[in-house]
Amino acid sequence: MSSVWDRCMQWWQETVATPPRVQADRQQDGSVASALSLLGGKEEIDLPGQRLRIERVIAQGGFAVVLEATDARDPSHKFALKKLLAHDRERLDLIKAEIKVMLSARSPAEVLLLMELCPGCVIDVVLSHEQGVPAHTIKSFFTQAADAVSFLHAQSPPIIHRDIKAENFLLTHDNVVKLCDFGSCTTETIDPAALDYRAKMATAERLEAMTTPQNRSPEMLDLFSEQPINEKLDVWALGCLLHVLCHRVHPFEDGAKLAIVNVKYKVPQSSQYAAFDHVIAERLFVKDVAARATAQQAKDAVAALDI
């Protein structure tokens, strides 16, 4: 089995504050022994110009494991070390899309990523505020999140994240928001009007496999509406994010197709977040893709609120 190393200081990684779906696969003890068993028993790993000491398991899933590592020469420097397994070409292609490196597909591969370790997650902040997240915190978190998405969309061609949600925004010690989990990213846009019935159904099935049900936009669920599927789907998901930040529940918790397609969701009558709710309804949850705000416009709209 070959190993490919690439130090990636990108805006993503898994952390101690892992999303619920990752927590379900968390190691029971998170011990050093568990961590070492996942790296062939090695206590230290050499990278070009750096040696790492493996400390513990953070999280483990079917295709990846995340470990906490420290600089062997300076233990105060902590990192997240993510190991990804590619058992076939399809999985290898997914890894390529996620980390943007060229890998050989001649044999199974093991990929290790060394990244910044973020100690927090936006969803944990939301859940810890039973009386609601302060408006100024919501404003800060959302504008930073939208800025990250806008950066992706400004690339040529635009990069579509396709998995924007509170669990995928991490926090540094000083509450800088960082977007993570690029495994569903694509630069592909889809024009359903150009597809026949069979192609529409196949495309719908493919989108279903790559995206989170609650965060799918109307055009992704109803290809027969023939609305373009492009980076604006991330803006719809930003609307879901802002609703979660305000109300601590997802607007489409069950991922019900009819509710999303018809934009039917509940807002508390005595909402203390009316200004944010207005941005969601008027700028983000817009079925007409062309009329929906861009990520930059979403950021600007919230930044302009007098909160």
Active-site annotation, residues: 163
Nearest to 153, CA basis, from 166, 164, 141, 142: 164
Encode 10-55 in three state secondary structure.
Answer: CCCCCCCCCCHHHHCCCCCCCCHHHHHHCCCCCCEEEECCEEEEEE
C-alpha span between 235 and 158 (Å, rounded): 13
Q: Which two tokens stand for residue 218?
A: 């109307």
For 222-284, the three-class secondary structure string (H helix, E strand, C coil) is CHHHCCCECCHHHHHHHHHHHHHHHHCCCCCCCCCHHHHHCCCCCCCCCCCCHHHHHHHHHHH
Q: Quick one: CA dihedral 184, 185, 187, 190, positive or negative?
A: positive
Task: Give the H/E segment covering residue 170.
Answer: strand 169-171
Taking the C-alpha atoms of residue 275 and residue 52, their distance in angstroms, rounded to an integer, is 47
The answer to whether the CB of 163 falls within 8 A of the CB of 181 is yes
Look at phi and psi of residue 226 and say left if phi exceeds 0, alpha if psi is from -120 to 50, else beta: left
